[in-house]
């Protein structure tokens, strides 16, 4: 009986409230109505669901679902073949574009990737690239270069200069037919040189890690060379972007001067002051606090904003922010692990998909186009792999080790796609040459594993301990 009384009061309250609401709605429906917008008019339930599905936010969720699922699936498939998962994710992005998805199922492709929805996808992908470049900056460790300086400098610079010259030479013959709508010969030639010269430091590191070579002399040399190569190549690319974006020589000079000032501030002020700003406790805590992460994010955003305003692209600022992070007590590794998990799972696949939407293999519709694509791949490989191997041999490495180092330096991967997208956004690269260079980036990255295996099989038996030392 004690329970029935509260229950009866509760039910009576519901009935009275429901009756009052029903009466008010009935009386209110007789009032003079204001203009009712079309979307508020009664529609069939299925029509309402379809209308909700066509909302921009729904489209974005559909895109995220498709892209992340495809990236994870192909990443696992490629891992099974001994390739880094990022290579499979790159491939997934290309397959989701008009080259396969748009060709096989054009209606579904148009629904998932309508043209008016690509703005949000592009912005999210750019944020992902900035976070990725921040991680790359933290991953660089040039301290290894002290013991490997002669080989690192010779190999890294040979692997940039030689393919750069070959790329500029190639641009001379391709400019008239394949330059983008906003390209001058100087801009086109410099971007072709850059596209031949880049090494994908993160992909190279993962290949070495997965093959157990990271701690060997060959692995240490490769990491050092790739690190020096990365810094040099991205410095050149920043210089090229500053020239291309500036309408005059004085504008380019101002942009480069401001970049130099920013680098000085970040390396001489922020790098030294950041440990004091954070405090020793925050540097050593196992789980970075929200306050620590907020400080780091603000530094990354400020640096990225600075380079974007200067006119050389936000990703350079994000990369620079990564290089000045404190390296004491494993702080970098803890921050990098958290940033990578978020960017690699959610945002980087968006960049691959956005690149895939720009890649139109159907533009290679005749024998000449395919032959030109093969020529670009051959020139890129000969310049990068050949120059690296010869330079390594000259510095005293064995031929088999030199060839393995050349194969590793020929890895372009994601770093190449970033540079190509910058060239495309600036109107320097036409859709056709952009597609050919994307294919070149994928092929040269695919080649790394098989070539490394081939050259290792031909190697002499390793000395006791399994190390591969340079002569």
**pLDDT the model gives residue 38:** 55
What are the residue ranges in the chain where pLDDT is below 50?
Answer: 462-471
| Angular region, 290: left φ>0, alpha ψ -120 to 50, beta rest | alpha
pLDDT of residue 302: 93
The pLDDT value given to residue 141: 62
Interatomic CA distance for residues 320 and 284, integer angstroms? 23
The pLDDT value given to residue 41: 52
Q: Which helix (DSSP H) or strand (DSSP E) does residue 4 occupy?
A: helix 4-28
Residue 459: CB atoms within 10 A of its CB come to 15
Q: What is the pLDDT of residue 416?
A: 87
Res 468: pLDDT? 36
Q: Count of CB atoms within 10 A of residue 249's CB?
A: 9
Tokens coding 211: 């093959």
H/E element holding 424?
helix 413-425
Q: Give the pLDDT score at 250.
A: 73
Q: Which residues have CB under 8 Å from 279's CB, separation 6+?
A: none
The predicted model scores a pTM of: 0.77
CATH, domain range 130-457: 1.20.1530.20
Report pLDDT digits (tens) over 305-357. Answer: 998 888 777 888 888 898 888 887 778 888 888 887 777 777 888 888 888 88
What are the tens digits of pLDDT across the range 225-273?
877 777 777 778 888 888 777 766 677 778 878 888 998 999 899 988 8
Of the candidates 151, 160, 65, 172, which has an alpha carbon nearest to the alpha carbon of residue 113? Answer: 65
Cα–Cα distance between 265 and 277 in angstroms, integer? 15
């Amino acid at each position: 009986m004690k329970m029935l009384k509260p229950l009866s009061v509760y039910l009576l309250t519901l009935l009275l409230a429901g009756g009052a609401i029903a009466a008010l709605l009935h009386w209110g429906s007789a009032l003079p109505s204001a203009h009712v917008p079309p979307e508020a008019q009664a529609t069939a339930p299925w029509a309402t669901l379809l209308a909700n599905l066509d909302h921009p936010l729904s489209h974005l969720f559909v895109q995220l679902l498709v892209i992340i699922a495809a990236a994870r699936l192909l990443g696992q498939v490629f891992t099974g073949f001994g390739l880094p998962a990022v290579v499979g994710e790159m491939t997934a992005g290309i397959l989701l574009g008009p080259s396969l998805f748009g060709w096989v199922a054009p209606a579904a492709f148009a629904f998932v990737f309508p043209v008016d929805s690509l703005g949000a996808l592009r912005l999210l992908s750019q944020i992902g690239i900035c976070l990725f470049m921040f991680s790359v900056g933290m991953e660089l460790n040039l301290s290894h270069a002290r013991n490997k300086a002669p080989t690192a400098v010779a190999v890294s610079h040979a692997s940039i200069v030689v393919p750069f010259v070959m790329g500029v030479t190639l641009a001379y013959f391709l400019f008239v037919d394949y330059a983008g709508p906003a390209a001058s010969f100087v801009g086109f030639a410099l971007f072709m040189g850059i596209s031949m010269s880049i090494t994908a430091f993160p992909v190279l590191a993962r290949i070495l890690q997965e093959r157990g070579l990271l701690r060997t002399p060959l692995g240490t040399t490769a990491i050092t060379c790739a690190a020096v190569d990365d810094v040099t190549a991205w410095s050149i690319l920043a210089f090229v972007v500053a020239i291309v974006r500036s309408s005059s020589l004085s504008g380019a000079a101002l942009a480069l001067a401001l970049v130099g000032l920013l680098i000085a501030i970040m390396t001489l002020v922020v790098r030294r002051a950041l440990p004091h700003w954070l405090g020793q406790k925050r540097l050593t805590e196992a789980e970075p606090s929200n306050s620590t992460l907020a400080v780091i994010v603000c530094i990354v955003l400020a640096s990225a904003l600075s380079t974007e305003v200067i006119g050389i692209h936000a990703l350079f600022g994000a990369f620079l922010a990564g290089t000045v992070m404190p390296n004491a007590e494993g702080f970098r590794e803890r921050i990098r692990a958290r940033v990578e998990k978020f960017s690699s799972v959610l945002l980087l696949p968006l960049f691959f998909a956005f690149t895939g939407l720009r890649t139109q293999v159907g533009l290679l519709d005749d024998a000449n186009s395919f032959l030109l694509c093969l020529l670009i791949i051959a020139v890129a490989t000969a310049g990068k792999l050949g120059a690296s191997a010869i330079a390594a041999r000259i510095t005293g490495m064995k031929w088999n080790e030199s060839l393995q180092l050349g194969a590793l330096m020929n890895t372009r991967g994601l770093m190449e796609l970033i540079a190509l997208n910058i060239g495309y956004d600036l109107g320097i690269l036409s859709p056709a040459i952009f597609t050919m260079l994307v294919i070149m980036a994928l092929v040269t990255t695919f080649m790394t594993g098989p070539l490394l295996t081939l050259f290792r099989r031909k190697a002499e038996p390793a000395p006791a301990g399994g190390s591969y030392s340079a002569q």
